[in-house]
Amino acid sequence: MAVTRNLDKDKMVVVEGSYSVAHSVKVCKPNVISAYPITPQTHIVEDLSQFMADGEIPNCEYINVESEFSALSALVGASAVGARSYSATTSQGLELMHEVLFNVSGMRFPVVMTVVNRAVSAPINIWNDHQDSISQRDTGWIQLYAEDTQEIADMTAQAFKIAEDKDVLLPAMVCMDGFILSHVYEPVVLLEQDLVDKYLPAYNPEFVLDSKDPKSFGAFADPSTYTEFRFLQEKAMEAALQKIEDAANDFHELFGRYYGGLIDEYETEDAEIIIMAMGSIIGTIKDVIDARRSKGEKVGLLKVRSFRPFPKEAIKKVVKNAKVVVVLDKNISIGLNEGALFTETKSCLYNTKIDVPVVGYMIGHGGRDIPVGTIENIIDEAKGVISSGIKVESQFTDVREELI
């Protein structure tokens, strides 16, 4: 379970979520930043540009580009020569990067990128859901999701540590909910430079582009070798499962804060109803769970921090004794009528002896607000699943019938 931050109150300042991320990037001492501004990611790159202009990020190049495609392409070159590389984007910008995302992961460059989650057009919508990053789940990037501004600040440093680990060497998306976290002002401990220096070693890759010692990256692989590249990427993801836990534990030891590793649990031990979700909705769910627990209802929360690699074993362990699992998704695979976390949770329970009903809700699309009442209704429906079985396996939440 997450370790409370109240002890840190004297170190906290009230800043915007985006600023806390930009600050974390700064103290991680990147060598190259390349990003293209897009709502709601803009404040992060504005803050980083200001740090650059003020000379606060030494030994770093900020490359201005004309698109997100170029931003990430620039980091392919930067990372190849051994530079710690960072970008930030969202929505349409991330989709434009799609081709380059495979290049970065295929060449095993540990680029870290903040994804400020936003809905995807059309229709155009600048508000939050997870469709943008979920749509990139098969690109070979680690994907981590944060519940509040402190976690996103802390997770940024953790992501560099995980990605650059020599047993991993995979790029990482650090995902935060657009506006809900990027534009919120709340108390946060800005990462201390001296502690980050202890936490995050310098990036010294074994293989770099060097004219004195020429090598190729991402060169031709014919059918006799291509499979092995994919196999090794999958192996690296498997290694990342442990490294994500380690990075969280090391962080806990040094900074005193812990938000879970691959997952986090809240009131799950004896829970009959377990809600699963990712991102900023977690806080609201915890408040609802506290209220339900005070009435004696056995409700718990399984927060998924790492969506890639997908924490199958950790999830199985938590849900195996529940009476119903309820999965909330801010995304949909159109044509399947399921969100990705729901589909994959069901998938990892299949071919096992665990027999727990799993139901899914697609929720909060395009920034649709998620009030407490919506979570309350979902819990009430879950009680119905326990008493009389699954009636609807996966459904949209809060559909406005009058508009259809």
Partner 1 sequence: MKEIRIHGRGGQGSVTAAELLAVAAFADGKFSQAFPAFGVERRGAPVQAFTRISDRTIRLRSQIYEPDYVIVQDPTLLEVVDVASGAKDDGIIIINSEFGPETFKLDTKATIMTVDATRIALDIIGRPIVNTVLLGAFAGATSEINPKSIQDAVKERFPGKVGEKNAEAIQKAYDMMMEAKA
Q: Which is nearer to partner 1, 154 or 165 (CB)?
A: 154
Q: Which is nearer to partner 1, 147 or 338 (CB)?
A: 147
* Residue 126 touching partner 1 (CB under 8 A): yes
* Residue 43 touching partner 1 (CB under 8 A): no
* Residue 46 touching partner 1 (CB under 8 A): no
Where are any strands of DSSP class E within 101-207? 112-117, 142-145, 172-177, 185-188
Residues 85, 100: contact at Cβ < 8 Å? no
Phi first, then psi: what are they for 329, rounded to 5°?
Answer: -130, 130
Scanning 19-27, 276-284, 321-329, 385-393 for contacts with partner 1 by CB under 8 A, the matching segment is 276-284
Q: Are strands 394-396 and 358-362 parallel, antiparallel or unpaired?
A: parallel
* Residue 376 touching partner 1 (CB under 8 A): no
Tell me which of 283, 313, 376, 391 binds partner 1, using CB under 8 A: 283
Residues 209, 158: contact at Cβ < 8 Å? no
Work out whether the CA dihedral 213, 218, 222, 227 comes out positive or negative.
Answer: positive
Q: How many helices (H) and strands (E) does the chain have?
A: 13, 15
* Residue 14 touching partner 1 (CB under 8 A): yes
For the CB of residue 50, give the shortest distance to partner 1 in the complex, in Å: 16
Q: Which is nearer to partner 1, 39 or 70 (CB)?
A: 39
Q: Which is nearer to partner 1, 6 or 216 (CB)?
A: 6
Q: 293: burial class by Cβ within 10 Å (0-12, 13-18, 19+)?
A: middle
In the DSSP assignment, the letter for residue 333 is: B
* Residue 284 touching partner 1 (CB under 8 A): yes
Tell me which of 367, 378, 385, 394 binds partner 1, using CB under 8 A: 367
Residues 49, 22: contact at Cβ < 8 Å? no
Tell me which of 148, 154, 265, 329 binds partner 1, using CB under 8 A: 148
Q: Which is nearer to partner 1, 98 or 286 (CB)?
A: 286
Contacts of 25 (CB under 8 A, 6+ apart): 33, 44, 48, 86, 114, 156
Work out whether the CA dihedral 324, 328, 334, 340 comes out positive or negative.
Answer: negative
* Residue 183 touching partner 1 (CB under 8 A): yes
Q: Which is nearer to partner 1, 252 or 312 (CB)?
A: 252
- 239, 235, 246, 153: which is closest to 196 by C-alpha? 153
Tell me which of 95, 186, 297, 393 binds partner 1, using CB under 8 A: 186
Q: Which is nearer to partner 1, 12 or 208 (CB)?
A: 12
Q: Which is nearer to partner 1, 12 or 63 (CB)?
A: 12
The phi-psi region of residue 389 (left if phi > 0; otherwise alpha if psi is between -120 and 50; otherwise beta) is left
Taking the C-alpha atoms of residue 349 and residue 358, their distance in angstroms, rounded to an integer, is 9
Q: Which is nearer to partner 1, 373 or 384 (CB)?
A: 373
For the CB of residue 401, give the shortest distance to partner 1 in the complex, in Å: 21
* Residue 293 touching partner 1 (CB under 8 A): no
Tell me which of 281, 324, 340, 341 binds partner 1, using CB under 8 A: 281
Using DSSP's 3-state secondary structure scheme, residue 225 falls into: coil
* Residue 6 touching partner 1 (CB under 8 A): yes
* Residue 4 touching partner 1 (CB under 8 A): yes
* Residue 286 touching partner 1 (CB under 8 A): yes
| Alpha-carbon torsion angle 249, 251, 256, 262, nearest 10 | -50
> Which positions lie near partner 1, rule CB under 8 A?
4-6, 12, 14, 16, 126-127, 148, 179-180, 183-187, 280-284, 286-287, 367, 369-372
